Structure 1
């Protein structure tokens, strides 16, 4: 199984649109249960944890991370539309087949794998490049800061930032 570390970020760099910014807070994420939302798609922190854990079991050297899982799941429906448009759609069964036969991956891991496969396939279609760039630039993804930030018009930040405020006990004295 092949999961690359940051293919979405690579496409964003290709378009010259990757942002390296700090994060703001968004009250929708205060409870910690929502990882990201976009249009009618919401991804939970549990789904992200499940996807990352299952992918790590299936491909221990992949260094696949939560931000990538968030992006593939939250943009999954849009990636699927583009993949269908360009004849690169991947079925749920095809994505599930990437995992070892003795493993029962979570639905979140399968959705993530499907998004990753479709994105990677679309990157190989020259005609799809403009649509991929437009998707990244026009999407307004609301992302929990523990997984990084999404800057409308630019896409995901390269790395998540420290989203946990230090407690008063952790503050330096003196």
Structure 2
């Protein structure tokens, strides 16, 4: 074979095999690259979905925790209000006793004025006999309760009701404060 004849015959079998091998390697590398890209996109999509799901779960948990905290605050505020009303009712009872004891003394007016202030701190419908005794304006609920007390005792309520009636009403008021929900539902 002469050098001029080798050039006309074309590439040798080894050269062709090497070319095909290189082409196959490039195609395999290209396919691997495409698969890698596709898998990476899928992984990123799944990771994004998982991250979003975790964020949503944290938002739900945070919302639930906020609701529970608000409910606890509400219960605490209700209990504090209940305790406040009971303390005021006790003060009203004590001040009423002082007012009765000092009714014929100069300090009686001062005791009545303190009693006027205290009964206004009670919820509507509480200590209506004392409010009537002090000449305070009564609400519709308080007038209704006053009627109920009169019916229970079977007589008209005098302007200065008997002390026993007042103590009975204050006891009922205390039971009502203790048993009712402090804050509306």
Largest Rg, 1 or 2: 2
- Both structures adopt the same fold (TM-score exceeding 0.5): no
More strand by share: 1
Higher relative contact order (CA 8 A, sep 6+): 1
More helix by share: 2
Please report the TM-score for the alignment, with normalisation by the length of structure 1. 0.23
Please report the TM-score for the alignment, with normalisation by the length of structure 2. 0.22
